[in-house]
Amino acid sequence: MAEDQAGARPLWKPWRDDRRRRATQDDESKFYYHNPSFTDHLPWVEYLEDGQCFLLDDNRSVGAAFELTPIGTEGREPEWLMTARDALEDALQDSFEELDRAPWVVQFFCQDDSDFSPYLQRLSDYIQPSARGTAFTEAYLELTRQHFKAIAKPGGLFEDTAVSHLPWRGSNRRVRLVIYRRVQSSDDDTGSPVASLERACERISASALHHCVWTVKLSTPGFCLGSIPHRR
C-alpha cells in the first residue's frame, strides 16, 4: 500500500462503510417500482363495440361515459345560476331508476389539458361555406393557432408577477360524466345490463340537452387515453 512521505497514513481510504451491506439485484429492482396510478382504481377494463359501452372489472356490469359541454355562466345573475343548478339536479335525479339493489353510480371527472386542437376543429367547422378559404379567414385561423400554441407551451406565454404570480397559460377544462351499476346477479329484474344502461343513457342525454348541456357519448378513442387501467 502506498504511503505519504511521512510513512504514517495511506494515500487513500475506502469511501464505503464496511458495516453497510452491498446492494443486491432486488434493491436495484425497487428503484423501478411504480406506485398504483389513478387508473388502477377505476372499475372499467375495456370497451365493447357491440354494446357501445365499457365492461367493468366484474366481467358482467357495464357503464357509459359522456363528454359534457357546460352552459355559459359568465356574467349570469345568482338567481339564474341557482335555477340552472336546480334544473340539472332534477335532470340527474329523474334520469335513473331508484333501485334497492345495485343502484346507479354517477361520477364526474374533470381534466385540464393544453390540447386546443378540438377547439380549433370546432372553430373551423363553424365557418360558413361562403367565408371558407378567404384571405381573412385563413389569416384569422393562423393567428388563433399561433396564440393557442403560445399559451399552451410549458411555462405559458408569460409570468404574471403582479397579481397571481403564476405563469399565464391556457388550458381546457374537460368534464366527463360516467354512469354504471354493478349487477349483483344474473337474474337482475331490470333486464340485460346493456339494455338497462342504454335506457339510462337516452334519458340522461335528453334531460341534459333540454337544459342546454350538450353530451357526446364517448367510445374508446375519446375516453381511453389514460382512463382504462393497464392490467399487469
Cα 216 to Cα 67: distance, rounded to the nearest angstrom:
5
According to DSSP, the β-strands at 214-217 and 53-56 are unpaired
**Helix H or strand E encompassing 167:** strand 167-168
Q: Which residues of 22-59 are buried (b: 16+ CB within 10 A; e: fewer)?
A: eeeeeeeeeeeeeeeeeeeebbbeebeeebbbbbbeee
Cα 56 to Cα 45: distance, rounded to the nearest angstrom:
6
SS3 assignment, position 214: strand
**Predicted confidence band at 8 (pLDDT cuts at 50, 70, 90)?**
low
Domains of the chain: 37-113+171-232 (3.30.70.1130), 115-169 (no CATH)
Of 33, 35, 71, 39, the C-alpha closest to 226 is 39
Whole-number pLDDT of residue 129: 93
pLDDT at 92 exceeding the cut of 60: yes
Cα 181 to Cα 171: distance, rounded to the nearest angstrom:
32
Cell of 170: 391556457
* Percentage, residues of the chain above pLDDT 90: 17
Candidate ranges 39-43, 77-81, 206-210, 217-221; pick with highest mean pLDDT: 77-81
Q: What confidence tens digit (pLDDT) does each residue in 40-76 have?
A: 777 888 888 888 888 998 888 999 988 888 788 888 8
Q: How wide is the angle at C-alpha 27 spanned by C-alphas 22 and 31, nearest 5°?
A: 135
Whole-number pLDDT of residue 145: 94
Whole-number pLDDT of residue 229: 47
Whole-number pLDDT of residue 231: 45
